[in-house]
Amino acid sequence: MKIDFLEVSAYRIPVKKPVATSFGVMRDRPAVFVKLVADDGSFGWGEIFANWPAAGAEHRARLLVMDIADILFEIDGETPESFWQELDAKTRIRAVQCGEIGPFDQVIAGLDTAINDIAARKAGLPMAKYLNGENARRSVPVYASGIAAYAADEEVARARAEGIRNFKLKVGFDTDSDLATLGRISTGLLEGERLFTDANQAWDVTQAADFLAKAEAFGLGWIEEPIPARSKLEDWKILASKTEIPIAAGENMVGDTVFDEAIASGVFSYLQPDVAKWGGISRCYATARKTLDAGRIYCPHFLGGGIGLIASAHLLAATGGDGLLEVDINPNQLRDAFLDGEMVNGEWQLPETPGLGIEQLPEEISEFQTLTLSRTRN
């Protein structure tokens, strides 16, 4: 199979309430969606990570068209995985030379998702079944993500009203106020509900250990990225030895070696690769399988538009295990416009439509387009 045509679009939706994490604030919600058309006319959709930096969405669209499209068009791939391997190998030097390994990884991840979408559509199977046949689940449980501490009470109540029983609060701001909020929310949990936290790399090992000692009584399901994601494994091990709270990470891990070492280290109870940041469906599914084989839990990380969220749901359904699907509770039309009643009582129902089930981009997001570029194979 060869790819004959690609079209990539960047979007931005201004937000009324900026989304705050411990390392910065998102003042709009961006997304980058890519459509690929194969030489037999079949097509597929992918999403490329674009939350950061602030100007990243349009840059990634241009990177795809100006630096990667020609390499993509040269590949005659037998499987989605073979496209990923060739794209990865043939862009490495350039990515290193310009210091942009992340953006290249993210663009290739989006292309991989689109190529897998093409393959699943051709097989006439929904993505989860294309990946794992009848073992794929029909639904997966979700957790409400992106809950800011300052709005935790109302956001948890809103998620609960939608039937969600798992909530993740952002911490890493003011310690006393973070702990007070966690204490209050954990006390108010109903039976069967769980509370998780994400520090977004806010602390060093000592600060993290101090915080977690004080949070021990709250019964937290996990602490996500308590220390910088690229800390030495030795530091992660020291922290893990000081707390009973399970540790989660993976959205900022890149490459098979890094994931293999993280899985083997025993530090991480939960591994969270992001389908739009590295590896696409091909490598994230392989990583998810390795995670399960090692007795760990795979939880896809995702905080973007609709295509990546749908891909994440299929990945989790294909993988199985005790993982939860991350669903951002902040308003975002670039996500919601793709959905059609998938979430029922806190469970994400996987549709039976082939591939990711996306025929075209929803009309209602077109007004938020900031850039559309296309290329045809010569």
Least distance (Å) between residue 348 CB and Mg ion: 19
# binding residues, Mg ion (CB under 5 A): 2
- Binders of Mg ion in range 326-345 (CB under 5 A): none
Between CA 124 and CA 131 the distance in angstroms is 12
Least distance (Å) between residue 22 CB and Mg ion: 10
Q: Which is nearer to Mg ion, 121 or 277 (CB)?
A: 277
Residue 105 binding Mg ion, by CB under 5 A: no
Least distance (Å) between residue 301 CB and Mg ion: 6
Show the 3-state SS of the chain: CCEEEEEEEEEEEEEEEEEEECCEEEEEEEEEEEEEEECCCCEEEEEECCCCCCCHHHHHHHHHHHHHHHHHHHCCCCCHHHHHHHHHHHHHHHHHHCCCHHHHHHHHHHHHHHHHHHHHHHHCCEHHHHHHHHHCCCEEEEEEEEECHHHHHHHHHHHHHCCCCEEEEECCCCHHHHHHHHHHHHHCCCCCCEEEEECCCCCCHHHHHHHHHHHHHHCCCCEECCCCCCCCHHHHHHHHHCCCCCEEECCCCCCHHHHHHHHHHCCEEEECCECCCCCHHHHHHHHHHHHHHCCCEECCECCCCHHHHHHHHHHHHHHCCCCCEEEECCCCHHHHCCCCCCEECCEEECCCCCECCCCCCCHHHHHHEEEEEEEECC
Q: Which is nearer to Mg ion, 29 or 121 (CB)?
A: 29
Q: Which is nearer to Mg ion, 1 or 159 (CB)?
A: 159
Q: Which is nearer to Mg ion, 224 or 342 (CB)?
A: 224
Least distance (Å) between residue 311 CB and Mg ion: 18
Q: Which is nearer to Mg ion, 91 or 269 (CB)?
A: 269
- Binders of Mg ion in range 191-230 (CB under 5 A): 198, 224
Least distance (Å) between residue 23 CB and Mg ion: 11
Least distance (Å) between residue 262 CB and Mg ion: 15
Least distance (Å) between residue 247 CB and Mg ion: 12
Q: Which is nearer to Mg ion, 198 or 328 (CB)?
A: 198
Q: Which is nearer to Mg ion, 117 or 224 (CB)?
A: 224
- Binders of Mg ion in range 123-182 (CB under 5 A): none
- Whose CB is nearest to Mg ion? 198
Least distance (Å) between residue 44 CB and Mg ion: 27
Q: Which is nearer to Mg ion, 155 or 224 (CB)?
A: 224
For Mg ion, the binding residues (CB under 5 A) are 198, 224
